[in-house]
Amino acid sequence: MPALRLGDTIPNFKANTTEGSIDLYSYQGKSWVIIFSHPADFTPVCTTELGRIAVHQEEFKKRNVKLLAHSCDKLNSHVDWVNDIKSYCKDIPGDFPYPIIADETRELAVKLDMIDQNNKDDEDRALTVRALYIIDPAHKLRLSMQYPASTGRSVDEMIRVIDSLQLVDKIPQIVTPANWVPGEKVMIVPTVSDAEADKLFPGGIDRVSMPSGLTYVRTTTKYM
């Protein structure tokens, strides 16, 4: 199975979920989608991940992002586990806010390249990794990450990446630096000339002087 690469079109698929049968593209509509797999139901770290994502549902909704969890466990297992997640994460507002795919045959996990390579040929032992895909409204893969079973993911990072992707889609001449969060300075793409940059960002550009003498670090806070 070839790895999914940034820019690939995510193929449409049908799946059984805790909210009935869904078709990815219909579920997605004109939204962004985050698909995230986890190793197994009724495990502690996964419980915190699904819970924290549910707690922040409004942050995703505000950004036009739909959520779709994936697991190789059975549908009735997911339904029982959701009760546990709601009990453990008491600050989930209202009903559990997103579907969880039941991929008992692992067909989708293989198709989406989410199987841990340890024990990959052993159906009973091969776990899914903590894969996470951010898919844009054109079904293109925009971010892919894989975490090991031992390490829960950061919801703040998911939201931060969405903010960055949506910003650079709006203003393709900028990029966002390490640890950037909305409101902080952004950087100007190196292929934009100085003259063009001055026209695009009349509010001001900081050109950082570097020992090399090159001025590739150009930042601005006035980009909106």
Residue 32: strand pairing partners: 65
Which distant-in-sequence residues (6+ apart) come within 8 Å of 9 by Cβ?
A: 138, 139, 140, 141
51 lines the binding site for ligand BEZ (CB under 6 A): no
Among 18, 31, 43, 166, binds ligand BEZ (CB under 6 A): 43
Options 16, 18, 22, 40; binder of ligand BEZ; rule CB under 6 A? 40
Q: Using alpha carbons only, how large is the chain's radius of gyration in Å? A: 20
- Number of residues in contact with ligand BEZ, rule: CB under 6 A? 7
Q: Does 126 bind ligand BEZ (CB under 6 A)?
A: no
Pairing of the two strands 32-37 and 65-71: parallel
Question: Is 46 a residue of the active site?
Answer: yes
- Per-residue binding letters, 130-169, with ligand BEZ (x by CB under 6 A): -------------------x--------------------
Tokens of 184: 């902080």
Q: Which of 15, 35, 46, 109 is catalytic?
A: 46
Residue 177 DSSP SS3: coil
Binding-site member from 46, 134, 188, 205 for ligand BEZ (CB under 6 A):
46
Distances (CA, A) of 27 to 89, 155, 179, 207, 212: 26, 22, 31, 44, 50
Nearer to ligand BEZ, 87 or 215 (CB): 87
Binding interface with ligand BEZ (CB under 6 A): 39-40, 43-46, 149
State the catalytic residues.
Answer: 46
